[in-house]
A and B are shown apart, each in its own frame.
Chain A
């Protein structure tokens, strides 16, 4: 039992950090670049995706033995689309502002590569508990990275974070941050940073192992 718990935790952490969908797998670039101009957008988009990812992973995993191999893609789409519709309607009803600013990116979660990739490469091969953990890990990993990205972009692009003024009044917003090129540049720089940190950690770990051995 302890073993299983261990693997569940590991699956969760794998999605959150090791195979972070944005910085490592580079999946779902569309919303990553499209909506991350404001921190609230980032967190909203991330959580919506996480919800769909968790639910679709769970259901696909449960149904994985029933779905015939040849029609699995349409079947996945039906499952994913149902949850996306739920999210879309929910947001329209309770978070109309956020829904408006995310626009067509919410319905577009249907074709988000992360969800498809996890369905195809994980949920279709693993049990429901594992898939749930994977969905949650990947979803939160995605949420965390795009929120980080949108915080940086909002800070430089508008001088605010979550709408609160951070930069001094005299700050002239860097408009490129609100445009797609700014997204690319920020994403690239953050990837450099993440990879550099990973490299340092990897080196430390190797050194520690060597010291133990």
Chain B
């Protein structure tokens, strides 16, 4: 006799409740505090850019997949994550077509043309940001003041474009008139400083990052080794100047990059050792670009460069399987 309505499937018969969609939703949740902070800090323009970016990404993915007669995977929320990350990398005052162009580029050229989720070899949001940055540099470095700065309540240079990083760079090279006291640690933590809209509020970013690590959505290795490397490099080269190191860690895109960009699954290594190497590489490159190259910030380029190295790192650090007998020579 057969029982009705019984399915025959191969083992295993139980699955964990973690799904791609849930992981992406967790990332969105972790990104939410930084988004809210950006709207508080920069006002409505930030909300407009976030909305434009997310809508463009989701719509681009949907339309592309419909057009190419592929399965529509908008439901996995990965396009939303890309949209959020892209928006967070755009200054709040940018015109609305910037996130739209960026979103189309990120989703269609970087993600879908290479095969969709899991097949892109560079982080879509970061690549799009790099393209925007190189193409419309003047727009992309025009950082508006935060609402609070504009009211002149804080003493930082209120001219748009002067980010704390520029000031810190001057301190690092020992330029005249530059002083650490011009950059308040508290302002950096709260995000009361110039920068792209999602990177300023470090407390929100750290909160989100720690949430992701605790929820085991991301591995601690990449953020820890990345931030750690930057810290060590600054300590070593500045003669253990703790004040400068702390301010460097809390400025620019380091926190956003280390927790949310470098940990992107398909563009970072999968082995534990590989993740440590990857993080350290990102940190080192970021330090070199910040300290010695012509750009004030190198987070995106550092991560993008290491993205490209990921397959190599994975290959180097491939684990020996249990009981594997490797031939010598």
Contacts and interface: CB of A to CB of B under 8 A. Distances in A.
A189 B135 contact: no
Contacts of B134: 175-176, 179, 181
Contacts, number: 20
B109 A176 contact: no
B55 interface: no
A64 to B, nearest CB: 43
A185 B134 CA distance: 13
A176 B113 contact: no
Contacts of A176: 131, 134-135
B326 to A, nearest CB: 38
A189 B109 contact: yes
Contacts of A177: 135
A179 B134 CA distance: 9
A179 B137 CA distance: 13
Interface in A187-213: 189, 192
A104 interface: no
Contacts of B305: none
Contacts of B139: 172
A77 B134 CA distance: 39
Interface in B116-158: 131, 134-137, 139
A172 B136 contact: yes
B131 A192 contact: no
B135 A192 contact: no
Nearest to A175: B135
B136 A175 contact: yes
Contacts of A189: 109
Contacts of A75: none
A181 B131 CA distance: 9
Nearest to A157: B135
A174 interface: yes
Interface in A147-182: 172-177, 179, 181
A94 B57 CA distance: 50
Contacts of A172: 136, 139
Interface in B71-129: 109, 113
Interface string A125-145: 000000000000000000000
A175 B109 contact: no
B136 A174 contact: yes
Nearest to A181: B134
Contacts of B135: 173-177
Nearest to B97: A172
Interface of A: 172-177, 179, 181, 185, 189, 192
Nearest 9 CB-CB pairings of A with B:
A176-B135, A174-B135, A176-B134, A175-B135, A176-B131, A172-B136, A175-B134, A179-B134, A175-B137
Interface of B: 109, 113, 131, 134-137, 139
20 contacts: A172-B136, A172-B139, A173-B135, A174-B135, A174-B136, A175-B134, A175-B135, A175-B136, A175-B137, A176-B131, A176-B134, A176-B135, A177-B135, A179-B134, A181-B131, A181-B134, A185-B109, A185-B131, A189-B109, A192-B113
